[in-house]
Structure formats: structure tokens, C-alpha cells
Amino acid sequence: MHPLLFRIQHTFSVGVTSLSEWRGDVAVTVTRDKLREVAQFLRDDPGMDFDYIVHVSSVDWPDDEERFEVVWEFYSIRKRQRIRLKTRVPESDCMVDSLTDLWKGADFMEREVYDMMGIRFRNHPDLRRILMPDDYTEGYPLRKDFPLRGKGWRDTFEFLDEVQR
Amino acid sequence: MAFEDQRTTVYKIDPEHPESETLPTLRTEELLLNMGPQHPSTHGVLKVILELEGERLVKSTPVMGFLHRGVEKLAEDGTYHQFIPHTDRLDYVCAMYNNFAYCRAVEKLLNLQVPERAEYLRTIVAEVQRIIGHQFWLSAQALDIGAMTVFFYCFRDREILLDWFDELCGARLTTSWYRIGGVERDLTPALIDKLKQFLDYFPPKIDEYQVFLEKNRIWLGRTKGVAVISAEDAVNFGLSGPVLRGSGVDYDLRKYEPYSAYPKCEFSVPVGKNGDTYDRYWIRMMELYESVKIIRQCLEQMQEGPIMADAPSITLPPKERVFTNLEAMIQQFKLFSQGFDAPPGEIYCGTEAHKGELGFHIVSTGGGKPYRLKIRAPSFIHMGAFDHMARGYMISDACTIFGTYDIVMGECDR
């Protein structure tokens, strides 16, 4: 077992649902209520020291009970190690703690996840859409049930008629 | 009266008749200014709402997404091979590095080894692309700040390399030369000669660019001490590339998570001190010299060999065989219509592009299409620190900050 995973497993007896290592990538899945605690540990513990946020992503699993997965990727500049932190969110209560106060860079990244997947972040300073227009009401484009060609919005464009010969 | 110098005039108010005194009351209010989306120095369609106090920036709110094309959604609909041309359009100034980052990520997912010659070719072309990227950055940054001449000098030399790309893969900007498992075609001896000539020609030209700027009082005044960010903040914001190294953080994936032929080359990673725009400029200039060094070493060390991995279920057959051989044609057709069968799993793979860490997070559930593909675009993440870095500086410094991020909206909005 990877030493990082070993430490996490021994520090958190409850809340860690799975630990994995695949292709050299180390990943930890935690329950939603433990997310903040684990994140704080990852940042502040001298053995972990994950001071750099790489990205925040999200995955939609429509068939699962807890539909959405939020993924944070961290790096340690001093220790030169990487870790992936994941948590699951059900669709009915699509809310997860924001990590903006731990890593300021999470601000825009979490806004993007909200914009694309519709996952809300508790205590986020400015949770608005970022890539889609502010007044966009047709849902969240990266969800699997959002059609690839949009929801008919394009058909409302007023194109000029083709010139008749 | 109203135009007198406020600092020296002393006004006395008669306490008995305060209204009789013609006291000039300066009306102060915060001004909201929309910069962009059609401003030339926003490098594309970016809008920033600036809150101003006089000419100082109090708060700035970037408004992005004008160039959002839903690339991540498109990726879920096509096979892994079909996504390569989409990556060209991310950072359209430096398409090669995007191809490279994407192919590396897919190879990590497949656990596919790339032959050694292909690794060298990839490194050479990636470093050529880095030179192009830094030249483009320098010309744009200098133009934003008001130095026009450097622009022409940079573009003169950039043109040589773009023509070289044209000869290599048939396109100047949207190249799509990298393939999963290797590269599309080999360097011809003529191309290698041209590249060697360029390597001899180029280093004096870097000095030339510097001559224009390093003793230029306007340049120094507008870059030194402008948009300073401390090392802690830069790390906390997740900045990468020269913007992070400018603050003195030694973080370069080519060095610390070495890939391709980089571990076989000797090069140094320039690191700044003050975290200001000038340091970031200096780092990029030094990286030009380092790129030349890396290309030279790669050309020396490179041996003959295959340029595609030997994995027929994944890699595309050579084009000449597709047109002459039935099996190869069927293979090509199957790879493009169904794709190869990727193992289920999840990976993240970051690559040091010239802007910063360009990463791909791929989730696969098996089959020929990625289940989810997320692009970690350095420009997007740098924009997250814009408000922090711009606070307290002048409006004109906002242009400097766009420049110093080397922002490209195709990548930022995806």
C-alpha cells in the first residue's frame, strides 16, 4: 500500500470509503461530511503538505444512488507528491463543502464545476456561472442527461433565409 | 477656482457662515468600467469588470466564457483519436503542446510505451513550440505595454518556425502531429538541417530582443514591481509555469515528473525572485536559451528507430499502408468508427506547456470513448488570481497582467 494511503487510513477510522492506486495515481474517496476534515489534514499535516491545488473536476454517474462525484487533485511542492480526493453527492441534496478558504485557487475551479455539473459548494464566496451566460436556465451542460446538441435553443436563432435563385 | 492644486490650497471655513465659503467639494465615487470583450489587449474575448477609485483598481471581476465551445462535452462523444484535433483549438497559438499533453494522458490511461525515437521527436517539436509560444508571448506583452518593434522582430523569427511546422505536418497552427502511441511522421534530413540552421541563428536574436527591452525605461517602469504575487499566494492559487516560477517556486514538471526525452537532457529551470512581471519576462527569456539547448541535445542523441508504438489495436496504421493494404484500411476504419478499448479507470496527467501545467483528467469506463474528460487549462486558473494580482495597480497595469499570464481564451473558455 502506498505510504500516503496508509497514513490516511490510520488517521481516519471512519469516513474514508475507498483508497486506490492505479497507474501511479493515488486516490482517496471520503464521505461528504468528512471532506473538509480530510482536506484540512492533507494541507496542514507535515507528512502530507499538499499546498498546491491542481484542479477540481466532477463526474456524473446517473445510475448510482449518489449521482455526482467531485474530484480534487492536489500536489505538494515541497514533497513532490500528488493525491486525488473524491467525494460523492446525491442529486437530491447537491451540496458539498467548498475548499476555497484552504486553497484560494479553488474559487474559479469550483465555480466551473457548479456551472457545468450543478453541484453547489457551501460557503463559496461567489458561486455564479462562469463559462455559460449568467441567465442560462437550461440546466447543466456536462450532466449526462443534457443532450450533446443542446436543448433546442439553437432552433430559436433567426437565421437569414437562403437567397432564392 | 476648481482647477487649483488641491494639495497646496488651504481653505478656511468661517464657522458662523459655513455655507458662504465656496468650498470645492470633490465628488468621489467608485467607477465601474467594462474592459473588453473587444479590447485588443485582452487577447481574445475576455471581459473584466473593473471597480476603480480614480485610476486604481479596487476590485476586478473577470467575465469569461465568450469562447466556450463545450470541448469537454464533445470529447465524450468522440473516440480518443478523434479528440486530438480538438486539442489544437484549445491553445491555438501552441497546438503542438496540447496534442502532446493529451496524447500523454491517453498513453498513461492505456499504459502504452512510446518508442525512443518518437520520444525524442516529441521533445524536439514540443520545445520548438515552446520557442514559438514565448516569442508570441513576448511580442504580445511588449505590444500591450507599448513597445511595437519587438513584435516585428519576434514575428520574423516565429515565421521561420511556423514554416518549419508547415513542412513537417502541413499546417502552421492547427498541427495535430502527435498521435496516441507516437507521432504522425518522421523528421526528414532537410527538416533537421533547417532546424540546426535555426538553432545557430536564434540565440543572438534572443539577445536582440533583450536589447530592446532591458534598458528601456518604459519597459522597466511598467514591469518591475508590477503585479507582484508572493510565493505562498502563487502556490495557493494554483498558478503554474513561468507565473509560478517568477515568484521563486521551483516547480517544473519537465524536471520533477520527467517525461518523454527530458530526463536524458541537461537543462536548468530558471526561477525568479521578486514575483513581478519583470521576473516572469526574464524567466521566459531564459527558457528560450534552455529550449535551444534541449533541442540541440535531442538532435545529437536521437537514434534511428520506429516512430509509432507497436500496438496495432491502439495505434493507427501508416497512411501509405492504409491506401494499399486492405487489412490496414479495415484497422483504420475500426479505430475511427469504434475506437480502441480503453481499460476502465481514472488518471490525471499534467504536462509542462509553456503557459503552465496543462493537464487532462480522464475517466474511462471501458470502450472507445472517454466517459469524462476534464482539461486543466493554465489560463483559466491564472485568471482566478487576476483580482488578487491587480488590486491597487493602475488600469493600464491590467493589460500588463493579461500579458504576463500569456492568456489565450481558446484554452481559458474551452
Residue with the larger pLDDT of the pair A148 and B11: A148
Binary contact (A112, B380; C-beta < 8 A): yes
DSSP string for chain A:
--HHHHHHHHH-SSSEEEEEEETTEEEEEE-GGGHHHHHHHHHH-TTT---EEEEEEEEE-TTSSS-EEEEEEEEETTTTEEEEEEEEE-STT-EEE--TTT-TTHHHHHHHHHHHH--EEET-TT---SSS-TT--S--TTSTTS-TT-SSGGGGS-PPPPPP-
Q: Give me the amino acid identity at B342.
A: A
Q: What b/e readout covers A56-83, taking b as 16+ CB neighbours within 10 angstroms?
A: bbbbbbeeeeebbbbbbbbbbbeeebbb
User: What's the confidence (pLDDT) of residue A153?
Assistant: 67
* Third-level CATH fold of A3-138: Beta Polymerase; domain 2 (3.30.460)
Question: pLDDT by residue (tens digit) across A5-60?
Answer: 888 888 887 888 888 888 888 899 998 888 888 888 888 888 888 889 998 999 99
Pick among B61, B361, B364, B386 to test the A interface (most A CBs inside 10 A): B361
Please tell me if residue B359 touches chain A, with a CB cutoff of 8 Å. Answer: yes
Averaged pLDDT for residues B39-58: 81
Please tell me if residue A19 touches chain B, with a CB cutoff of 8 Å. Answer: no
> Which residues in chain A are closer than 8 Å to B108, comparing Cβ atoms?
23
N-terminal to C-terminal alpha carbon distance within chain A: 73
Question: Shortest CB distance from B238 goes to which of A54, A57, A112?
Answer: A54
- Three-state DSSP state, B80: coil
Question: pLDDT by residue (tens digit) across B291-304?
Answer: 999 999 998 988 88
Cβ atoms B345, B109 nearer than 8 A? yes
Question: Shortest CB distance from B236 goes to which of A55, A103, A112?
Answer: A103
Please tell me if residue B214 touches chain A, with a CB cutoff of 8 Å. Answer: no
Which residues is A73 bridged to in the sheet? A55, A84
User: What's the confidence (pLDDT) of residue B222?
Assistant: 86
A 99-158: CB under 8 A from B = 103-109, 112, 116, 129-133, 141-142, 146, 148
Question: What does R_g of chain A's alpha carbons equal in angstroms?
Answer: 19
Q: What strands lie across the sheet with A16-22, from one edge to the other?
A: A16-22, A25-30, A81-89, A68-76, A52-60
B369, three cell numbers: 470513448
- Residue B235 is assigned to a structural domain of this protein: yes
Name every residue whose Cβ is closer than 8 Å to that of residue A64 and which is 6 or more positions away in sequence.
Answer: A88
Tell me the shortest Cα–Cα distance from A127 to chain B, in angstroms.
13
B 330-349: CB under 8 A from A = 345-348
ipTM of the complex: 0.87
Question: Shortest CB distance from A84 goes to which of B68, B348, B350?
Answer: B348
Q: What share of chain B is helix, strand, coil (3-state, %, to 5)?
A: 50, 10, 40
* Sign of the dihedral through C-alpha B191, B192, B197, B201: positive
Name every residue whose Cβ is closer than 8 Å to that of residue B367 and which is 6 or more positions away in sequence.
Answer: B339, B341, B342
Domain of residue B308, residue span: 63-70+115-319+379-413
Please tell me if residue B47 touches chain A, with a CB cutoff of 8 Å. Answer: no
Averaged pLDDT for residues A83-92: 90
- How many percent of chain B have pLDDT more than 90? 15
User: What's the confidence (pLDDT) of residue B292?
Assistant: 92
Binary contact (A142, B64; C-beta < 8 A): no
- For the whole model, what pTM was predicted? 0.87
User: What's the confidence (pLDDT) of residue A162?
Assistant: 65
Tell me the shortest Cα–Cα distance from A12 to chain B, in angstroms.
24
B104, three cell numbers: 500523454
- Residue B110 is assigned to a structural domain of this protein: no
Count Cα neighbours of B10 within 13 Å in the Cβ-side half-sphere: 1
Binary contact (B237, A60; C-beta < 8 A): no
Tell me the shortest Cα–Cα distance from A13 to chain B, in angstroms.
25
A121, three cell numbers: 459548494
> Which residues in chain B are closer than 8 Å to A57, comparing Cβ atoms?
361, 372, 374
Q: How far apart are CA B391 and CA A132, in angstroms?
A: 26
**Residue B150 banded pLDDT, cuts 50, 70, 90:** confident
User: What's the confidence (pLDDT) of residue B41?
Assistant: 67
Strands B47-53 and B56-63: antiparallel
- Three-state DSSP state, B363: strand
Q: Is the pLDDT of residue A74 over 70?
A: yes
- Three-state DSSP state, B273: coil
- Residue B7 is assigned to a structural domain of this protein: no
Tell me the shortest Cα–Cα distance from B229 to chain A, in angstroms.
13
Lowest-confidence segment of A5-19, B15-29, B353-367 by average pLDDT? B15-29
Binary contact (A55, B376; C-beta < 8 A): yes
Exposed / middle / buried, residue B327 (Cβ in 10 Å: 0-12, 13-18, 19+): exposed
Pick among A50, A86, A102, A104 to test the B interface (most B CBs inside 10 A): A104
Question: Shortest CB distance from B383 goes to which of A51, A57, A108?
Answer: A108
Which H or E run contains B126?
Answer: helix B116-145
Residue with the larger pLDDT of the pair B152 and A13: B152
Cβ atoms B47, B413 nearer than 8 A? no
Cis peptide before B242 (omega within 30 of 0): no
Q: Give me the amino acid identity at A124.
A: H
Q: Is the pLDDT of residue B353 over 50?
A: yes
Average pLDDT over chain A reads 85
Q: Give me the amino acid identity at B364.
A: S
Tell me the shortest Cα–Cα distance from A164 to chain B, in angstroms.
32
Which H or E run contains B400?
Answer: helix B395-405
Please tell me if residue A64 touches chain B, with a CB cutoff of 8 Å. Answer: no
Q: Is the pLDDT of residue B388 over 70?
A: yes
> Which residues in chain A are closer than 8 Å to B247, comparing Cβ atoms?
none
Question: Shortest CB distance from B381 goes to which of A23, A108, A116?
Answer: A108
- Residue B238 is assigned to a structural domain of this protein: yes
Q: How far apart are CA A71 and CA B254, in angstroms?
A: 25
User: What's the confidence (pLDDT) of residue B5?
Assistant: 47
CATH number at residue B133: 1.10.645.10
Please tell me if residue A79 touches chain B, with a CB cutoff of 8 Å. Answer: no
- Residue B327 is assigned to a structural domain of this protein: no
Question: pLDDT by residue (tens digit) across B236-269?
Answer: 888 988 999 988 888 888 888 888 888 888 888 8
Cβ atoms A61, A68 nearer than 8 A? yes
Residue with the larger pLDDT of the pair B283 and B414: B283
- Residue B161 is assigned to a structural domain of this protein: yes
- Residue B86 is assigned to a structural domain of this protein: no
Domains held by chain B: number: 1
In chain A, domain spans: 3-138
B46, three cell numbers: 475576455
- How many percent of chain A have pLDDT more than 90? 8
Lowest-confidence segment of A56-60, B26-30, B179-183 by average pLDDT? B26-30
Please tell me if residue B151 touches chain A, with a CB cutoff of 8 Å. Answer: no
Tell me the shortest Cα–Cα distance from B380 to chain A, in angstroms.
8
Q: How far apart are CA B96 and CA B89, in angstroms?
A: 10
Binary contact (A132, B65; C-beta < 8 A): yes
> Which residues in chain A are closer than 8 Å to B233, comparing Cβ atoms?
104
Q: How far apart are CA B206 and CA B55, in angstroms?
A: 35
Within B215-342, residue ranges assigned H as helices are: 217-223, 231-236, 242-245, 253-256, 277-301, 319-324, 326-337
Count Cα neighbours of B357 within 13 Å in the Cβ-side half-sphere: 28
Q: Is the pLDDT of residue B189 over 70?
A: yes
B324, three cell numbers: 494499399
CA nearest neighbour of A137 among A165, A109, A158, A118: A118
For residue A53, the tally of other CB atoms under 10 A from its CB is 26
Averaged pLDDT for residues B392-410: 85
Please tell me if residue B380 touches chain A, with a CB cutoff of 8 Å. Answer: yes
Q: Is the pLDDT of residue B281 over 60?
A: yes
Q: How far apart are CA A85 and CA B301, in angstroms?
A: 40
Locate cell 465601474: which residue? B32
* Sign of the dihedral through C-alpha B88, B327, B106, A31: positive
Binary contact (A53, B238; C-beta < 8 A): yes
**Residue B42 banded pLDDT, cuts 50, 70, 90:** low
Q: Is the pLDDT of residue B85 over 60?
A: yes
